[in-house]
Chain A
Amino acid sequence: MKILNLALNRIRNEVSPYTAFIQERLVTWTAFWSTIPVSVITAVLFINPDKSTSEGLLIWTAIGLLSHASMVPFVHHLNKNGSRRTHFLMAFFLGALRGVVLNLIAPLFLVEDPLPIYARALNSGFAFLYFFVIVSILQGVWGKFEKDLREFLLTFASVSSESKLATSSETTDIDDIERQDAIARLGKLLEDSISQESRGLTLRQQAQAIDRVIAKNIRPQSSQRWKSAELVWPQIHPWRVIRNSFFETKAPVVVTVLIIFPLSFIGQLARATFLNAVLLQLFAFVLIYLSCVLADKVTSVSKKSIGFNNFLYLVFYIFIQSPIINFINFLLNRFSYDSFDNLVQVQIATTAVAIAFVVFGTMILSVYNAREEALIQLRKFLPEDKLQDILDAGQISNEQSEYAQYLHAEVQSQLTASKLLLLKAAETDFAAMSTETTRQVLLRLESLKTPYEKKVARIPKVRLNELIQTWRGLTRIKMDLPPELDRVSKNGEVISQLIEESVINAIRHGKAKNVKVTVWIEGDVCKIEVQDDGKLKSTKKPGLGSTLFQVFAPDWKLKTNDDGTLATMSTPF
């Protein structure tokens, strides 16, 4: 019992690095595109009963591709939706769907799937669950690194500006002017990118910028430790990864075999009885375990490297374990195969797949370790508090930038518009806005993710004057407002919002440089005209602005004239 517990704990520990990488969403376009070769290879190598003719190969390639395409509608829907549990279920379901389609369309090509439709569905379901998980792990390796990097970069912006220059021993490495300048430039670049997320550099570009600074300014002058750190930063260098995987990372054979056990067992069931499949799996596992132990012993005794250990295991697997399993398979299930050749072909394909899984596992470990090391090194060479000073300096100038003001004004304007729309919807018991319109407002709110600030000044004239000030420097706004807007009125907020929205639209979409707003009151109706010198631009998708106009000023119109674009509307005063 104790041994079993120990073994289970060991397995858990060894599996956990892989499970930690699994993403929230498995069914993605990346997973779909990257599993196409797998789909075709399995169809051609494992399902195709006649591997000797090129016609068979072509037909099964086509079937593999078409059956893979059947997943498209679901991938389209699930790409950015659904919980992790849903994705796990759907990964299996999509695999099963692929299996069903493969089985169904084979007769259209005048060939036959050797398995019954339900067995194919089950088999394919399990296989694709694995494939999607593998792609997800691969994405996770990169994603975790990106997450860590992002956190690292954001730390600079969040640490207090009172921090002093670092005095730790590591900082002495960067006390020369050239490197300080490089770090200063880098800091400014990163800070700009962080503060202006949409317009700044992407995370990948930021990482590449860091890489350039490291390569040009830090690495050549740094300690030997840094030079020999064998960094994989920030991109995967394929040859380096392969070399590291094979020579410096011990292949996680046992854990990989355990992880793929359900897949290989289901695969076995296609050609063997349950008992025979269990027996074969048991034999295979014992042989693999013994091969590993033997390879470890030989390496340890002969004091050889990890590369030798991996090589030895590969030799044992191909020349000892695989033939033995092939022989046992022959004894147990020879009647399920068309011929002995067919049995050997399937065994070779299975061996190749198993080796591919082990290589894949080793590569993940290798990349992961290298990147962890890379982040540790980066933290040492770019001390947070030193860079923080640079970032703070950038922050101050940035805070004064007009761009930030524009963004803020726009976000707050949109938040106010959303509030007015939701209020209108709730007050009319959702009769004023359709479900889809309400949902669009909610989606817009979700995308803003900024705290709402209630404006203190609610007199329309005061608020609209603020608007003029906000856009000063970019667009000249003239207002011709009636005296009725000098005081708080029942619908003042709506009127101000409609004018704000029209002006912002003219600037953003029409690129207007001059805007003239004319407002007058006729009885109980407030008439608004916004003339600008920009271009009339209509977007296919109606945005928050058009929803606002439709709800509060249903007669709104937008037309071009000699002076540019004229927006007219009226709303109750």
Chain B
Amino acid sequence: MKLWYQHFKLVSTGRSAVSIPSMLLYLPISFVFALEREFALAPGMLSNQLKIVLAGELTSFLFLHISSLTLLRNRKVKQQNLFLCIFVWAFTGVIRGFFAEFYATSLLNLDSHASLRILVSVMFSTLGLGFAAYSFGSIYELETKKAALRSLNGFISSENIGLNSEQIAMKEEAIITLQQILIPKVIQLQRLTAGLKKYELSQPLALALFSLEEQAHRLVYQMRVNLDNLESIPNPRSGVASRIFNSSQITLKLWPNVISVKLSFFFLALGGIVVQFGRNTTTGALCSLLGSVISVVTLLIFDRISRRDAISRKSFIVTCAYVSIFLLQYLYSSRLVPQLFDLAQPFDPWYSAVRVTFAVYLASLFLSFLKADSLLLQSMSTESINSREILDLKNSKNEMLEAVNTTTNQGELQGHISGVIMALNLLTKDEDTFLSNRDPSGIINNANLLLSNAIAEIQNLSVKDLLN
């Protein structure tokens, strides 16, 4: 309940607290209810009844509009005080009732029913405008969230395109560096070590040279593995966006496939009480309450059945629910009401049954729309999370590729290999002075060390991880 209250406060006190769309939903219903009231309070000419109702409705509308420009003018920027909103909704009822009364008594010289007109109008306006604000606020909230996710998806798509082209460029750069710079150098290294073997060497030196040759082979192998891995990295998929972001409009299905029990009870009980109280005072309100309970029990049964049943049969069950509600209400109004209650202005049973069925239909329609919209939002939200995760993954892949490029281009790897080549070149440059003037073991050991470092570094590049 607390959660519901918080949500009500959140969505109803924003821009939809008073808005033209919510007024347009509220006004026709309010008009019909007021006309029903005037049929009882000002019997006679339809033209007069219309005038009384319209006088109240139009002045209250004007008040609502003025309130939206003055008292609630900041509602589009920040949430308004809930009590202020309730005050505006209730006072709209006061205006509505007062001007209907004024027109009836002062201009049409009809009987006065001031307290009844004002009280019923206040109750109806407060509840009706509150509900209109809540329903439009909920729809608006969902629409805003969807629009935000759609816009965010635009950013994600845009970044995705950037990351894709970045990844392709960096991969190509890494492959070119390996193919054109590093691998030729290592092959040159292999040749140099092979060339050194033609000299007669002491055993430790031969072992060191053998180790050097082996390391050079390992380095070549490791580089080829890395090159293969780099070439195997698939080109990034072009898009992360799902179609769901493009088709995000929910069309209002005129035949709802859910039965709204709670909302129907709210509509029937409160609406019924307000209208019946205006016509038949407390007895009318009790009669309406009992009728609502009967309808809700029926709805509850059908709701249970529809939940268990297959989706394909849901619309059939919903149809059965409407037919049952209509028949039950007709029977209740025609048979039970005259026995149980002494009503001065009872509704025609047909009319009463149609009203109740229509209220249930409206409640179900609203709930069905809201559910479909919430489901769509949920899917969009999941898609958005997935897209963001994909983007993060691409980002980290790109960082890895960047590291590969930095290490191979500007890192120590090239230095190590070049150092070994230079050292070996030094040894083989002058064949006559090779063994006599220098001690080659130190140089070869240093070369071995450099190559070990180079191999460690190339193994650390974790190009394999990029394949995942």
Contact = CB atoms under 8 A, between A and B. Distances in A.
Interface of A: 70, 72-74, 76-78, 97, 100-101, 103-104, 107-108, 116-118, 418-419, 422-423, 425-427, 429-430, 434-436, 438-442, 445, 451-454, 456, 541-542
B203 to A, nearest CB: 51
A439 B144 contact: yes
Given A418-B151, A435-B137, A436-B77, 4 more contacts: A118-B47, A423-B388, A434-B14, A436-B15
Contact of A425 (B14, B78, B141, B148): B148
Interface stretch (B51-59, B302-310, B364-372): B51-59
Q: What class of interface size applies to chain B in its complex with A?
A: 35 or more
Given A108-B107, A442-B151, A435 B20 contact: no
Interface string B353-393: 00000000000000000000000000001001100100000
Contacts of A117: 47, 50-51, 54
A100 B144 contact: no
Contacts of B50: 117-118
Contacts of A425: 148, 152
Contact of A116 (B10, B47, B77, B152): B47
Given A77-B20, A104-B55, A117-B51, A541 B77 contact: yes
Contacts of B107: 107-108
B151 A104 contact: no
A453 B384 CA distance: 20
A35 B336 CA distance: 56
Nearest to B76: A436
A100 B58 contact: yes
A78 B21 CA distance: 11
Contacts of B51: 103-104, 117
B204 interface: no
B62 interface: yes
Contacts of A542: 77
Contacts of B47: 116-118
Given A100-B54, A116-B47, A454-B159, A434 B151 contact: no
B58 A426 contact: no
Contacts of A440: 77
A441 B152 CA distance: 11
26 contacts: A70-B62, A73-B20, A74-B20, A76-B65, A78-B20, A97-B58, A117-B51, A418-B155, A422-B151, A422-B152, A422-B155, A423-B388, A425-B148, A426-B385, A430-B145, A434-B14, A434-B79, A435-B10, A435-B137, A435-B140, A436-B14, A436-B15, A436-B78, A439-B144, A439-B147, A454-B159
A493 to B, nearest CB: 12
B79 A442 contact: no
Nearest to A433: B148
A421 to B, nearest CB: 9
Interface of B: 10-11, 14-15, 20, 47, 50-51, 54-55, 58, 61-62, 65, 76-79, 103, 107, 137, 140-141, 144-145, 147-149, 151-152, 154-155, 158-159, 162, 166, 381, 384-385, 388
A58 B448 CA distance: 111
Contacts of B158: 451-454
Q: Which of A78, A436, A442 has the most CB atoms of chain B within a 10 A radius of its CB?
A: A436
A327 B158 CA distance: 74
Contacts of A78: 20
A103 B79 CA distance: 39
A104 B54 contact: yes
Contact of A423 (B76, B79, B152, B381): B152
A435 B77 contact: no
B77 A101 contact: no
A454 B156 CA distance: 10
Contacts of A118: 47, 50
B343 to A, nearest CB: 30
A452 B144 contact: no
Contacts of A436: 14-15, 76-79
Contacts of B55: 104
5 nearest CB pairs, A to B: A73-B65, A77-B20, A422-B152, A419-B155, A454-B162
A418 B78 CA distance: 19
B95 to A, nearest CB: 14
A427 B149 CA distance: 10
Contact of B103 (A77, A104, A419, A439): A104
A396 B152 CA distance: 34
A408 to B, nearest CB: 16
B381 A429 contact: yes
B145, B159, B385 — most chain A CB neighbours (10 Å): B145
A97 B59 CA distance: 12
Contacts of A439: 144, 147
Contact of A452 (B103, B148, B155): B155
B162 A426 contact: no
A426 B152 contact: yes
Contacts of A104: 51, 54-55, 58, 103
A427 B58 CA distance: 45
Contact of A438 (B61, B78, B148, B385): B148
Contact of A73 (B14, B62, B79, B155): B62
Contacts of A97: 58
A422 B154 CA distance: 11
A452 B154 contact: yes
Contacts of B145: 430, 435, 438
B58 A445 contact: no
Nearest to B64: A73
A28 B147 CA distance: 27
